Amino acid sequence: MSERATWATRVGFLVAAIGSAVGLGNIWQFPFKTASNGGAVFLVVYLVAVVGIGLPALLAEFVVGRKTKANAVDAFRKLGHPRWRVIGAFGAFIGFWIVSYYSVVGGWVGRYFIGSVTGGYFDAPGQYFGAIATGPEAILFHGLFMTATVTVVALGVNSGIERATKVMVPGIVVMMLGLAVWAATQSGAAAGYSYFLNPDFSTLLANAGDVVPFAVGQAFFTLSLGMAIMITYSSYVGEDTSLFVDGGVIVVMNTLIGVLAGLVVFPVLFANGIDPNTTKAEAIFVAMANAFSQVPGGRLLGMVFFGVVLIAALSSAISLMEVVVSYATDHSTVSRPRLAVLTGTVLFVMGLPSAWDTAWLGWFDTLAYKLFLPLSVLLLLLFVGWVLADEAVEQLLLGSDTGWLGPVWLWTVRTVVVLAVVATLALGLETLLLGGDIVPPV
């Protein structure tokens, strides 16, 4: 067994956890899912889900990780509940499932980065996406993205991940703020704000089977929950750290970046006469390409923007690979670089269908949101709330001076949060089965 690393500094953990949380989930998925699910209604349900379900669940993962100081599978054995290690294994499976197509989207970002350098998308920003999103070129860039991920993981936890993520988080916030201010000056932007910020609740009931599972799934996806990631990351955290404070910081930063992405994408789409309902997965790409083709210095801005998003995507993909490599290095003598290459190869092969045809990407994505993520989080909540129970509260309160929050958290997790996730799962399953989305697009 190799010696376990710890974060060089407390900020190191925070930055890495934010690095895992902030990624394509905020910048690509969030505008995409908002556009596909009615705009502002989705935003409201998502915000409620982040605070009401995401944060308590994040704390639950932190408790398991910090208490055991083990990888996400062995953690449950160490706690004396070996059967529950299925949560860790299921989480790692979901991580694989998601990163396989996440890497394809990461490849698109890489392609847009190069498109910014060469000016490739500047003449016809609306058409570029269709030209690069699928087929051999998408496979090539998916492979390049995976290679970059493997390289960072092979370098090790402190040197690789901390260094890469420290520059990224402030970079994204600054870029997004600047773009949001610019977007506000565009004529026609007002309709974008209205679409994004002014909810029409009358549509919620009719579309609840999509809006609720996708919004709750978005909260999980974007906080890297249900994938054993936050368990693994918090296993490196010291007991003098307040998990409430760190959890709160992560949730706030993460949500801020998603909402900022929306404040850029929707005004730009409307200003260019593009109906968000028709854009879906390409929303962010089409909006940004349009923006950069109009602003002075657009090429440079495009390079910076897609460059920053690329780092954000990488730091998230890295976090998943870290889960797998952490488990494997605890159990074998195979070297970290080799394990990273092996994991990357499996992920690359799994992602091939999604790179070939976006119908596959949609299938992987829908199943992750509506079935796998809620199921995985539900199991964890049941375990932490009902099996660990008081032990969990005790662990949660180490390093914190807000003791009264412990029981509040426990009872919320046990009741309201569990019920909300069960309801979400039921809604999602219903539409999955009735709509036939569960069948792969062969």
Question: Where do contacts with ligand PFF occur on this chain (CB under 6 A)?
Answer: 20-21, 23-26, 95, 98-99, 102, 221-222, 224, 227, 229, 316, 319-320
Q: Which amino acid is at 414?
A: R
Judged by beta carbon, residue 138 or residue 373, the one nearer ligand PFF is 373
Judged by beta carbon, residue 231 or residue 410, the one nearer ligand PFF is 231
Judged by beta carbon, residue 134 or residue 319, the one nearer ligand PFF is 319
Judged by beta carbon, residue 24 or residue 104, the one nearer ligand PFF is 24
Instruction: Give me the least distance between CB of 329 and ligand PFF, in Å please.
Output: 18
Judged by beta carbon, residue 16 or residue 79, the one nearer ligand PFF is 16
Judged by beta carbon, residue 319 or residue 366, the one nearer ligand PFF is 319
Instruction: Give me the least distance between CB of 165 and ligand PFF, in Å please.
Output: 12
Judged by beta carbon, residue 20 or residue 272, the one nearer ligand PFF is 20
Instruction: Give me the least distance between CB of 368 and ligand PFF, in Å please.
Output: 9
Instruction: Give me the least distance between CB of 426 and ligand PFF, in Å please.
Output: 24
Instruction: Give me the least distance between CB of 269 and ligand PFF, in Å please.
Output: 21
Instruction: Give me the least distance between CB of 288 and ligand PFF, in Å please.
Output: 17
Degrees to nearest 5, angle at CA 172 with 170 and 174: 70
Residue showing the smallest CB distance to ligand PFF in the complex: 25
Instruction: Give me the least distance between CB of 47 and ligand PFF, in Å please.
Output: 15
